[in-house]
Amino acid sequence: MKRYSPEGATPAMAQWFALKAENPEALLFFRMGDFYELFFDDATAAAAALDIALTARGTHAGEPISMCGVPVAAAPAYLARLIRRGFRVAVAEQTEAPRKGKGAAKGPLARAVVRVVTPGTLTEDELLEPGRSNLLLALVEGPASTGRGRKGKGAEKAQKVQADTPLGAAWIDVSTGLFETASVTQASLAGLLGRLDPAEILAPADLALGDFDACRAPEVLVPGVEAARQRLASAFDVASVDAFGTFSDEEAMAAAVAVDYVQRSQAGKLPRLTHPTPQTDGGILGIDPATRASLDLLRARDGGMEHTLFSAVNQTVTAAGARLMAEWLSAPLTDVVRIAARQDGWCWLRDSTSCRTALREALKKAPDVARALGRLSLGRGQPRDLSAIRDALHAARAAAAALGDVSRLPPYLSKAAASLGGAQELEAELVRALAEDLPARLDDGGVIAAGYDGELDGYRGLRDNSRRVVAGLQTEYASRYGVASLKIKHHAQLGYVIEVPVGASSRMKDRDDLMFRQGTASNARFSTEELAGLDARIAEAAERAAAREKAVFNALVDAVLAEQTLPVLAKALAVLDVQQSCAMLAAGGSWCRPDVTDDTAFDLQACRHPVVESALPKGTRFTPNGCDLSPNRRVMLLTGPNMAGKSTFLRQTALAVILAQGGFPVAAEKATIGVVDQLFSRVGASDDLARGRSTFMVEMTETAAILNQAGPRSLVVVDEIGRGTATLDGLAIAWSVLEALHSTVRCRAIFATHFHELADLVDTLPRLAPHTMAVREWRGQIVFLHEVLVGSAKKSWGVHVARLAGVPASVVDRAGRLLKELEREHATGPKPLPLFDTQKILPHEEENTLRKRLSEVDPDTLTPRAALDILYELHKQAVQEEGSPVQG
Ligand code: ADP
Please determine, for residue 853, whether its predicted confidence score (pLDDT) is greater than 60. yes
Mean pLDDT is highest, among 238-252, 488-502, 568-582, for 568-582
Q: Indicate which atom in ligand 1 lies nearest the CA of residue 650.
A: 6
Handedness of CA 274, 280, 286, 288 (dihedral sign): positive
Please determine, for residue 601, whether its predicted confidence score (pLDDT) is greater than 90. yes
Candidate from 621, 638, 771, 786 with most ligand 1 atoms within 8 A of CB, to mutate: 786
Is residue 259 in contact with ligand 1, taking CB distance under 6 Å? no
Is residue 653 in contact with ligand 1, taking CB distance under 6 Å? no
Contact 145, 136 (CB under 8 A): no
Read off the pLDDT of each residue in 344-363 and give the average, rounded to a whole number.
96
Give the model's pLDDT for residue 876: 82
Closest Cα to atom 6, ligand 1: which residue? 645
Using pLDDT thresholds of 50, 70 and 90, give the confidence band for residue 190.
Answer: confident
Is residue 627 in contact with ligand 1, taking CB distance under 6 Å? no
Is residue 115 in contact with ligand 1, taking CB distance under 6 Å? no
Give the model's pLDDT for residue 692: 54
- Report how far ligand 1's centroid is from the alpha carbon of 646 (Å): 7
Beta strand ranges found along 3-106 (DSSP E): 27-32, 35-39, 55-60, 63-71, 89-94
Is residue 642 in contact with ligand 1, taking CB distance under 6 Å? yes
Which of 194, 185, 182, 158 is CA-nearest to residue 253?
182
Give the model's pLDDT for residue 612: 94
Number of residues in the chain:
888
Please determine, for residue 836, whether its predicted confidence score (pLDDT) is greater than 70. no
Q: Indicate which atom in ligand 1 lies nearest the CA of residue 683.
A: 2
- Report how far ligand 1's centroid is from the alpha carbon of 638 (Å): 14
Contact 404, 354 (CB under 8 A): no
Contact 478, 484 (CB under 8 A): yes
Between the alpha carbon of residue 97 and those of residues 13, 15, 93, 108, 300, the distances in Å are: 19, 17, 11, 11, 49
Is residue 608 in contact with ligand 1, taking CB distance under 6 Å? no
The end-to-end CA distance of the chain, in Å, is 67
Give the model's pLDDT for residue 604: 97
Please determine, for residue 479, whether its predicted confidence score (pLDDT) is greater than 80. yes
Helix (H) or strand (E) holding 415: helix 411-418
Type of residue found at 340? A
Burial class (CB within 10 angstroms; exposed 0-12, middle 13-18, buried 19+) of 310 = buried
- Report how far ligand 1's centroid is from the alpha carbon of 653 (Å): 14
Please determine, for residue 321, whether its predicted confidence score (pLDDT) is greater than 80. yes
Closest Cα to atom 16, ligand 1: which residue? 616
Using pLDDT thresholds of 50, 70 and 90, give the confidence band for residue 504.
Answer: confident
Please determine, for residue 128, whether its predicted confidence score (pLDDT) is greater than 50. yes
Which of 185, 276, 288 is CA-nearest to residue 238?
276
Give the model's pLDDT for residue 694: 66
Look at 370 and 150; give whichever has higher pLDDT.
370
Least confident of 197-211, 248-262, 724-738: 724-738
**Which tens digits make up the pLDDT trace of 818-833?**
777 777 776 654 444 4
Give the model's pLDDT for residue 457: 94
Q: DSSP letter string over 742-789?
A: IIII--EEEEEES-GGGGGGGGT-TTEEEEEEEEEEETTEEEEEEEEE
**Which tens digits make up the pLDDT trace of 194-236?**
899 999 999 999 898 988 998 999 888 899 999 999 999 999 8
Read off the pLDDT of each residue in 694-720 and give the average, rounded to a whole number.
87
Read off the pLDDT of each residue in 27-36 and give the average, rounded to a whole number.
92
Q: DSSP letter string over 363-389?
A: HHT---HHHHHHHHHTT---HHHHHHH
Is residue 121 in contact with ligand 1, taking CB distance under 6 Å? no
Q: Indicate which atom in ligand 1 lies nearest the CA of residue 620.
A: 25
Please determine, for residue 20, whether its predicted confidence score (pLDDT) is greater than 80. yes
Read off the pLDDT of each residue in 434-462 and give the average, rounded to a whole number.
93
β-pair type (678-682, 670-674): unpaired
Least confident of 108-112, 583-587, 708-712, 745-749: 108-112
Give the model's pLDDT for residue 200: 95
Is residue 622 in contact with ligand 1, taking CB distance under 6 Å? yes
- Report how far ligand 1's centroid is from the alpha carbon of 433 (Å): 58
- Report how far ligand 1's centroid is from the alpha carbon of 667 (Å): 16
- Report how far ligand 1's centroid is from the alpha carbon of 768 (Å): 24
Please determine, for residue 311, whether its predicted confidence score (pLDDT) is greater than 50. yes
Give the model's pLDDT for residue 102: 56
Please determine, for residue 429, whether its predicted confidence score (pLDDT) is greater than 50. yes
Please determine, for residue 847, whether its predicted confidence score (pLDDT) is greater than 60. no
Between the alpha carbon of residue 178 and those of residues 82, 133, 440, the distances in Å are: 25, 9, 27
Is residue 647 in contact with ligand 1, taking CB distance under 6 Å? yes
Is residue 291 in contact with ligand 1, taking CB distance under 6 Å? no
Handedness of CA 401, 406, 411, 415 (dihedral sign): positive
Contact 185, 163 (CB under 8 A): yes
- Report how far ligand 1's centroid is from the alpha carbon of 645 (Å): 3
d(CA 631, CA 674): 10
d(CA 840, CA 880): 15
Give the model's pLDDT for residue 104: 55
Please determine, for residue 459, whether its predicted confidence score (pLDDT) is greater than 90. yes
Is residue 623 in contact with ligand 1, taking CB distance under 6 Å? yes
Closest Cα to atom 26, ligand 1: which residue? 622
d(CA 743, CA 762): 13
Please determine, for residue 748, whether its predicted confidence score (pLDDT) is greater than 90. yes
Type of residue found at 71? P
Look at 575 and 3; give whichever has higher pLDDT.
575
Which of 750, 689, 761 is CA-nearest to residue 720?
750
d(CA 325, CA 573): 12
CB atoms within 10 A of CB 140: 29
Please determine, for residue 510, whether its predicted confidence score (pLDDT) is greater than 80. no
Contact 217, 120 (CB under 8 A): yes
d(CA 224, CA 35): 42
Residues with Cβ within 8 Å of residue 572, at least 6 apart in sequence: 396, 415, 416, 417, 419, 420
Give the model's pLDDT for residue 874: 84
Give the model's pLDDT for residue 690: 47
In DSSP terms, which residues pair with 777 in a beta bridge? Answer: 782
Q: DSSP letter string over 640-683?
A: --TTSSHHHHHHHHHHHHHHHHTT--BSSSEEEEEPPSEEEEE-
Read off the pLDDT of each residue in 660-672 and give the average, rounded to a whole number.
97
Read off the pLDDT of each residue in 556-574 and give the average, rounded to a whole number.
95
Give the model's pLDDT for residue 598: 95
Look at 721 and 176; give whichever has higher pLDDT.
176
Give the model's pLDDT for residue 835: 47
Q: Indicate which atom in ligand 1 lies nearest the CA of residue 719.
A: 2
Give percent above pLDDT 90 in the chain: 49
Please determine, for residue 724, whether its predicted confidence score (pLDDT) is greater than 80. no
Look at 799 and 69; give whichever has higher pLDDT.
69
Give percent above pLDDT 70 in the chain: 91
d(CA 223, CA 140): 10
Give the model's pLDDT for residue 882: 58
- Report how far ligand 1's centroid is from the alpha carbon of 776 (Å): 15
Mean pLDDT is highest, among 261-275, 724-738, 785-799, 871-885, for 261-275
- Report how far ligand 1's centroid is from the alpha carbon of 584 (Å): 27
In DSSP terms, which residues pair with 523 in a beta bridge? Answer: 501
Look at 596 and 300; give whichever has higher pLDDT.
596
CB atoms within 10 A of CB 475: 11
780-787 long-range contacts, Cβ below 8 Å, gap at least 24?
Answer: 782/641, 784/641, 784/643, 784/644, 784/645, 785/623, 786/622, 786/623, 786/625, 786/644, 786/645, 786/648, 787/623, 787/625
Contact 222, 140 (CB under 8 A): yes
Least confident of 206-220, 451-465, 472-486, 830-844: 830-844
Type of residue found at 237? D
Give the model's pLDDT for residue 71: 93
Q: What angle do CA 528, 532, 534 make, to 5 degrees?
A: 115
Contact 751, 635 (CB under 8 A): yes
Give the model's pLDDT for residue 608: 97
Look at 690 and 288; give whichever has higher pLDDT.
288
Q: Indicate which atom in ligand 1 lies nearest the CA of residue 684.
A: 2
Which of 331, 347, 252, 340 is CA-nearest to residue 292?
331
Look at 104 and 239; give whichever has higher pLDDT.
239
Type of residue found at 494? L
CB atoms within 10 A of CB 647: 19
Please determine, for residue 841, whether its predicted confidence score (pLDDT) is greater than 60. no
CB atoms within 10 A of CB 784: 19
**Which tens digits make up the pLDDT trace of 44-54?**
999 999 989 99
Candidate from 612, 621, 623, 638 with most ligand 1 atoms within 8 A of CB, to mutate: 612
- Report how far ligand 1's centroid is from the alpha carbon of 647 (Å): 7
What backbone torsions phi and psi does residue 539 show, to the nearest 5 degrees? -60, -45
Contact 583, 592 (CB under 8 A): no
Give the model's pLDDT for residue 834: 45
Look at 359 and 779; give whichever has higher pLDDT.
359
